[in-house]
Structure 1
Amino acid sequence: MNLRTQRKMAAKILKVGENKVWVDPENVDNVSMAIRKEDIRALIKNKAIRAKDTVGASRGRARRLAKKKRKGQRRGEGKLRGKKYSRISRKELWMKKIRPIRKLLKELRARRAITPTVHRKLYLMTKGGAFRNVAHVKSYIKEQKLARR
């Protein structure tokens, strides 16, 4: 039985493609008798004609990956794109390093844990790149006994 015209009409009414129109195999006779849009609408109401669900790509794998990435996994060397300093510039690295160290020195001076002279010395050393990070500065102060008692 050829239901081409009925499919076309149903597709227009349901606002889907012709391939997305599902015709109930048990009601094929009724559908083939439908020649007006009104008849098709009645069949849609009676669920003899329906629009198939749209099939999309499953997001399950993507969600699993995203979860792992949030945990910090899948971030190994194989995932790195670009050279070291194209990923984060030398200037940005420097700023990330220098700002916390300067903040620490400022706090130590404000708390009077170090003298202004020591502060100036450490500040200039920091500027010269003598320290790797805040912990390094603290250990240096401890080793050299630069803290006030």
Structure 2
Amino acid sequence: MADLANQKRLAAALLKVGVTRVWMDPEKLEDIATAITREDIRGLIEAGTVKRRPKVGISRGRARARDIKRAKGHRKGHGSRRGAAGARAPKKEQWMRKIRAQRKVLREMREEKTIDAHNYRILYRKAKGGEFRNVAHLKSYIAYQKK
């Protein structure tokens, strides 16, 4: 078989791709070997004897499958963790999630007249001070106060 390195290099330059992305028809290697000028290679490209190979991408299929598993709580064990617990779930984000939920419940209770505006203010300040662990704790505190 003839050495087609020069033809491949010329074809790569004409097709504006790397040498590895040049495809040559294995049945017409004799014709390719006789092509020594850029014009000859252009003719082979037009004839379809020399073509540009498609780009090879990296499949996201496995990554998508892994993300679905992680959404269900799988693949999150000790061996998969990078970073401390405080980095994975920062204290501030935990606080924001908790306080927003509590304030939402307090607003709803005030609108439904379950608590009056005065008690709303007091409970709001208590929530801000971190007195309640969660919404359930807040509700149980309000129920206890009503008795």
Scaled by the length of structure 2, the TM-score of the pair is 0.72
Q: Which runs of 4+ in 1 moved over 6 A?
A: none
Residue 51 of structure 2: aligned partner:
50
Residue 146 of structure 2: aligned partner:
146
Q: CA RMSD in A?
A: 3.0
The letter of the residue matching 1:135 is A
Residue 135 of structure 2: aligned partner:
134
User: Size of the alignment, in residue pairs?
Assistant: 146
Scaled by the length of structure 1, the TM-score of the pair is 0.71
Unaligned 5+ residue runs, structure 1?
none
1:90-129 superposed matches below 5 A: 90-115=91-116, 118-119=119-120, 122-123=123-124, 125-129=126-130
After superposition, what is the alpha-carbon deviation per residue over 1:86-123, rounded to whole angstroms, capped at 9, x for unaligned? 44443443343233323433443444323556546544
The letter of the residue matching 2:146 is L
Q: Does the 8 Å contact 1:9/1:37 carry over to 2?
A: yes
SS of equivalent residue, structure 2 residue 146 = coil
Compare CA radii of gyration and give the structure with the larger one: 1
Indicate whether 1:22 and 2:59 are aligned: no
Q: Does the 8 Å contact 1:16/1:51 carry over to 2?
A: yes
After TM superposition, the structure 1 stretch with the greater mean CA deviation from structure 2, 78-87 or 1-10, is 78-87
Q: Supply the distance in 1 between the matched residues of 2:15 and 2:85 (Cα, whole angstroms).
A: 55
Q: Does the 8 Å contact 1:27/1:48 carry over to 2?
A: yes
After TM superposition, the structure 1 stretch with the greater mean CA deviation from structure 2, 72-81 or 130-139, is 72-81
Unaligned 5+ residue runs, structure 2?
none
Residue 5 of structure 2: aligned partner:
4
After TM superposition, the structure 1 stretch with the greater mean CA deviation from structure 2, 64-73 or 43-52, is 64-73
Q: Supply the distance in 1 between the matched residues of 2:84 and 2:125 (Cα, whole angstroms).
A: 31
Residue 33 of structure 1: aligned partner:
34
Residue 68 of structure 1: aligned partner:
69
Q: Supply the distance in 2 between the matched residues of 1:7 and 1:119 (Cα, whole angstroms).
A: 79
The letter of the residue matching 1:138 is K
Q: Does the 8 Å contact 1:6/1:34 carry over to 2?
A: yes
